[in-house]
Amino acid sequence: MMHRRENLGRTLIIANPRAHAGAADVVAADLQRFLELHHQDIVSFELVRTERPGHAAELACDAQGYDTVLALGGDGVVHEIVNGLMKQPMHSRPNLGLVPVGSGNDYARTLGMDPGASEDFAKLFCCERVSMDVGRIRFWDDLSEQSGASGGKGFSSEPHCEEFFVETFSVGLDAAIALGCAMLHERTGLKGHALYTVSGLDVFIRRYRRYPLSVSYDREKPREISALMLAVQIGPTYGSGYRVCPDADPADGLFDICCAQGGIPRAQAISLFLRSKNGRHIASKRIDLRRARRVELVLDSRDYPIQADGERIVARHLILESLPHALRVLRPLRT
């Protein structure tokens, strides 16, 4: 563990100026002044503001020759940047740093950062480089008659899409909640925990349903289940601190999986949802927890809500694989 000021080296700061209702743009300007005034000796930097969806991924993919890429914004810009960095060769892939300025900030929590202290810039230089896991998703949108890895009707091996995530993947009600947060934020101005809770209650009251699917863990025989939700976690939280997999370790090479399935009455399901804020849902017999390196899903319909780090995915067949220690991340020193 390093106890000296960290030299970030040549650094690209990618800021989403619209994050947290525009607050990220102010933080980006403050960070630029801070670095210019105090830290020219240990960092040479370039600040770029994103202009459109997907722009951060493009910038990170092109950030060759940089030592560090700093993500300034919420979980959405982190997700895009990781997807860009993962296109670079591992031996030359820059370190990932984070200035959390978003509504959820769940990856920041996983790194032990205080999401409410986004302008404590000095902590950027009091950190350690750690190797963290990344989840890779390969997914197909259409059925074919070719037998797949799950057996029976499957999917062709090509073409497929690929995406990466660093915190959370889910399908079902919890994905519907996460995807509903953006529209709800625009309509109400809610943020953080309150935003996710209100979105959750809206989904449970108006769109409560089960999602039939086939799931296979680590190439075991597939099981047909009727799921309310299935979350595959690298870190312990989503939804601005809901501890869906409280014991998830982002550097153990394993996914932590939380699945609620079967005929759970709506009132009981709402109770489980609210208890997951503090991780107390795991005591319920309705919750199935397990760990795996690989998860394969075949869904009955392509209209299921699916999200990875809060971003929508459309698919019928998905294979998730843990990539151990695939990304070097700057984490604040633990005192």
Please give the distance of CA 102 from its chain centroid, rounded to a whole number.
13
Largest CA distance in the chain: 63
Round to whole Å and give the CA distance between 77 and 55.
9
Number of domains in the chain: 2
Band of pLDDT at residue 5, cut at 50, 70 and 90:
low
Round to whole Å and give the CA distance between 36 and 47.
12
In terms of domains, do 170 and 314 share one? yes
Match 């991924």 to its residue by tokens: 57
Q: What is the pLDDT of residues 170-211, one digit of tens each?
A: 999 999 999 998 788 778 878 888 888 999 999 999 999 999
Round to whole Å and give the CA distance between 332 and 335.
9
CATH number of the domain encompassing residue 247: 2.60.200.40
Domain-embedded: residue 3: no
Q: Which pLDDT belongs to residue 154?
A: 52
In terms of domains, do 147 and 268 share one? yes
In terms of domains, do 116 and 166 share one? no
- Mean pLDDT over residues 12-36, rounded? 91
In terms of domains, do 87 and 33 share one? yes
Say which range, 30-39, 117-126, 221-230, 325-334, has the weakest mean pLDDT. 117-126
Six-digit token string for 77: 């810009």
Round to whole Å and give the CA distance between 332 and 12.
19
Beta bridge partners of 135: 165, 322
Reduced to 3 DSSP states, what percent helix, strand and coil does the chain have, rounded to the nearest 5? Answer: 30, 35, 40
Domain-embedded: residue 227: yes
In terms of domains, do 38 and 103 share one? yes
Q: How many residues in total does the chain contain?
A: 335
Match 């509504």 to its residue by tokens: 103
In terms of domains, do 104 and 148 share one? no
Match 């933080």 to its residue by tokens: 27
Round to whole Å and give the CA distance between 268 and 194.
20
- Mean pLDDT over residues 96-103, rounded? 92
Round to whole Å and give the CA distance between 63 and 11.
9
pTM greater than 0.75: yes
Q: Which pLDDT belongs to residue 171?
A: 98
Round to whole Å and give the CA distance between 4 and 103.
31
Structural domain that includes position 45: 9-125
Band of pLDDT at residue 146, cut at 50, 70 and 90:
very low
In terms of domains, do 82 and 119 share one? yes
- Domain end, chosen from 125, 147, 162, is at 125
CA distances to 99, 124, 228, 244 from 116, rounded to whole Å, are 11, 15, 32, 21
Q: Which pLDDT belongs to residue 2?
A: 42
Band of pLDDT at residue 7, cut at 50, 70 and 90:
confident
Highest mean pLDDT, choosing among 123-132, 292-301, 326-335? 292-301
